[in-house]
Amino acid sequence: MERRETSPLREDWDRMLCVVAHPDDMEFGAAAAVARWTGQGKDVVYCMVTSGEAGIDGLPPEDCRAVREAEQVESARLVGVEQVEFLGLPDGVLEYGVPLRRAIAAVVRRHQPEIVVTGNFRDTWGGRNLNQADHVATGRAVVDAVRDAGNRWVFPEQVAEGLQPWGGVREVWAFGSPAAEHAVDTTETFDAGVASLEAHRAYIDGLGWEDWDAREFLEGMARPAGQSLGVTFAAPFEVFLMGWGD
């Protein structure tokens, strides 16, 4: 099969908000890209919809919550992200709908990003392996919440409380999507991305992945994406335009 070439992502922006379902989601596909952007002096904020408290079978949720939040904060620090928010919604049972859109719209209004990043919310990863329900619900809600955030008559109680409408998001980028047609060169920041994923040690150990190699795993995605972009390593993204008529 002929490899499809990808287009470089735009980098004419200053503020990015990343909204994903769980701690570790960013690190499984986008952390090296974030390290590139923070290295350029861009402002990047992380928002975790849950705290991943249902992610370690041998650890009760309340204990797991504290562990995974701490791992995420350290993981973010390794790629230059200083602000990590946790919305505290229940892990494993997220539902797409108005409450989730409302929670994410408030975050968008508060941070006023130009670019919003989320994870793949297609049904699969491009093969037979089904995506996880929280990922699908969160990604779908992110796209809609970005539009909600710009309309003062949607969730008007937020406006009354001082969160002004924000319609300045240009694009939503979904990393890891099988429909990705854009990518960003992560050759110089790939090692930071690996370290960021390895910082989720308790989670990885909790999955029982004794012989799992974070670098090998990430290279398996980054090398093909890099080849399609003409570089060594790259992170692929599906781009959703937020303007009207685009």
**CA–CA dist 29, 111 (Å, integer):** 23
Q: Is the pLDDT assigned to residue 163 strictly greater than 60?
A: yes
pTM exceeding 0.85? yes
Q: How many CA atoms lie within 13 A of 63 on its CB side?
A: 8
| Per-residue pLDDT reduced to its tens digit, 178-204 | 999 999 999 999 999 999 999 999 999
Q: Is the pLDDT assigned to residue 2 strictly greater than 50?
A: no
Calculate what percentage of the chain has a pLDDT beyond 70. Answer: 97
Per the DSSP assignment, residues forming a β-bridge with 115 are 16, 171
